[in-house]
Amino acid sequence: PRHGKPAAAADVDELLGGLLAPGMDRRSCRSRHQLHRYFKHFPYAPSPHLLSKLRAYESLHRRCAPGTPLYADAISRLRSGLGAAAAGEESCSYMVWLPFDGLGNRMLSMASGFLYALLTGRVFLAAVPPDSADLFCEPFPNATWLLPVEDFPVANLFGLGPRPDHSLTRLLAKNKIPVAGADGDLPAASNATVPAYVYLSLGWQKTDLRPFFCGENQRALAKVSWLLLYSDLYFAPSLYKIAGFHGELRRMFPEREATAHLLLRYLLHPGNAVWGLVTRYYGAYLAPANRRVGVQIRMSAAGDDHVPAGDKYNQILACSRQENNILPETTADGDAGAGASNLTTTSGGSSDDGGDNGNSTAILVASLFAEYYERLRSRYYEHAAVTGAAAAWVGVFQPTHEEVQATGKLEHNRKALAEIYLLSFSDELVTSGLSTFGYVSAGLAGVRPTILLTAFGHKVPEPPCRRAVSMEPCNLTPPPDVKCRAKFVDEEDLTRHLKICEDWTKGVKLY
């Protein structure tokens, strides 16, 4: 097609500069080799160190994946309650991802959990529930990332919640986990005493945040073969605080802002069902434009974010004006004179231009509700749009308005994921504060979004929005600021790269 293929994308190979492993099956996951044609931005190439970590990870994954003898050994140790393999015996250790919360939350906890697995030599397996069965492709070559849930010795895997008996905090309280001294060393002979698995509750409830992100407990955790991760957070920023990980992270991500961007593009590719939705919609509505702007409208789940729709709509327009007219301005009246004269002088009336005058914008609205789409569409129908002095053609599109979040339903989740990817093909993004749905779109897109601020206490925020300092997601619930026994990394270096989030003063983000 003539349209929608930006010059930048043409220079990028389908494996994203070596980020993706070569030789994987194309038909079972069409998006993997096609996504590069849709993304508009490629701001960061993966570092050589990240590439070598990923290739080494892939071969580890092949040796330890379900179906291998090493996996069978690890499962039988878990079944018999044994903590670690005998000394000298080859063994694998695992991080099992469990679903928690909405799709954006899940994608961020996957990226964070996978990063932790990379840092600690663990194998990352996903316990994918039926509501997400075909959302994502297998990410690793020649081995599955799916945990065989039915045969897993821990029962009721999807129903354990934030505070089961085997959570890190409970196990520490019961002295089931050896506690390291200030030097980080464990007491001798602690191997035999580690539990067969530890449940890490690293969600907004904060259950295990403090002990997990204290470096001293990482030594003991390294001896545990099975970690079960229950989290809805992007916790990569907190991993930078653990002294043992800091250097490795810097080498993997010399540009910290690229952390989630590269992890998400590496790990997550929509399955064929979702990719069908994405490409059909993009081809029909978004590809013909010269410029695509994604607008994601989300009311915070916190509940006090609700303001009348008219106020919210005005906030969006005020934000656009503040940020250099991300959404094209309109003339006061409905006069299309400027547009018509411009069309004849610049396009020469050639229908080959698609009648778009070289200045067309597609606005993609993602929201559970239709009202902002309706208002924006009417705006550009009733008024002529201009960008600079030139007339602009503006199309407004919204794939769905599901009205309610229905995370337990596969059909609903497919559409939600399709919209996350459609947003990620934007040239520019306006997202909603506190929304992981928006964070993931911006990270995938490689765009620093303009973030609409939350209407705390039902008050329309002023300013209406802020331009993000980085494309990184906010860690909305960082660990409480309690002194750990193990020394933190160089605080000064950390504060240079960790900032309070634009949309949440209790959150931190990398930049």
Q: Is 424 in the site for ligand GDP (CB under 6 A)?
A: no
Residue 41 CA: distances (Å) to CA of 270, 287, 428, 447: 19, 15, 10, 7
Q: Is 33 in the site for ligand GDP (CB under 6 A)?
A: no
Among 163, 405, 467, 497, binds ligand GDP (CB under 6 A): 405
Q: How many residues belong to the site for ligand GDP (CB under 6 A)?
A: 21
Instruction: Calculate helix-pair angle for 410-424, 272-281, nearest 10 degrees.
Output: 50
Q: Is 105 in the site for ligand GDP (CB under 6 A)?
A: yes
Minimal CB distance residue for ligand GDP: 102
Instruction: Calculate helix-pair angle for 436-445, 103-120, nearest 10 degrees.
Output: 60
Among 190, 436, 454, 477, binds ligand GDP (CB under 6 A): 436
Q: Is 315 in the site for ligand GDP (CB under 6 A)?
A: no
Q: CB-wise, 257 or 419, nearer to ligand GDP?
A: 419
- Among the residue ranges 34-42, 103-111, 254-262, 488-496, the one whose residues contact ligand GDP (CB under 6 A): 103-111
Q: Is 309 in the site for ligand GDP (CB under 6 A)?
A: no
Q: CB-wise, 29 or 420, nearer to ligand GDP?
A: 420
Instruction: Calculate helix-pair angle for 259-267, 103-120, nearest 10 degrees.
Output: 100
Other beta carbons less than 10 A from residue 362's beta carbon: 23
Helix (H) or strand (E) holding 9: helix 7-10
Q: CB-wise, 101 or 216, nearer to ligand GDP?
A: 101
Instruction: For residues 295 and 327, give the distance between their C-alpha atoms in angstroms, rounded to a whole number.
Output: 9
Q: CB-wise, 250 or 401, nearer to ligand GDP?
A: 401
Instruction: For residues 94 and 73, give the distance between their C-alpha atoms in angstroms, rounded to a whole number.
Output: 12
Contacts of 10 (CB under 8 A, 6+ apart): none
Minimum Å gap between C-beta 219 and ligand GDP is 33
Q: CB-wise, 288 or 294, nearer to ligand GDP?
A: 294
The pair of structure tokens assigned to 95 is: 């991080």
Quickly list H helices, 359-435. Answer: 371-382, 410-424
SS3 content of the chain, % helix, strand, coil (to 5): 40, 15, 45
Instruction: For residues 37 and 30, give the distance between their C-alpha atoms in angstroms, rounded to a whole number.
Output: 12
Q: CB-wise, 205 or 400, nearer to ligand GDP?
A: 400
Q: Is 293 in the site for ligand GDP (CB under 6 A)?
A: no
Q: Is 68 in the site for ligand GDP (CB under 6 A)?
A: no
Beta strands in 411-489 (DSSP E): 428-432, 450-452, 465-467
What x-and-dash track marks residues 351-390 binding ligand GDP by CB under 6 A? ---------------xxx----------------------
The amino acid occupying position 413 is N
Q: Is 73 in the site for ligand GDP (CB under 6 A)?
A: no
Q: Is 400 in the site for ligand GDP (CB under 6 A)?
A: yes
The amino acid occupying position 167 is S
Give residues in contact with ligand GDP (CB under 6 A): 101-105, 298, 301, 366-368, 400, 402, 405, 407, 412, 415-416, 419, 435-437
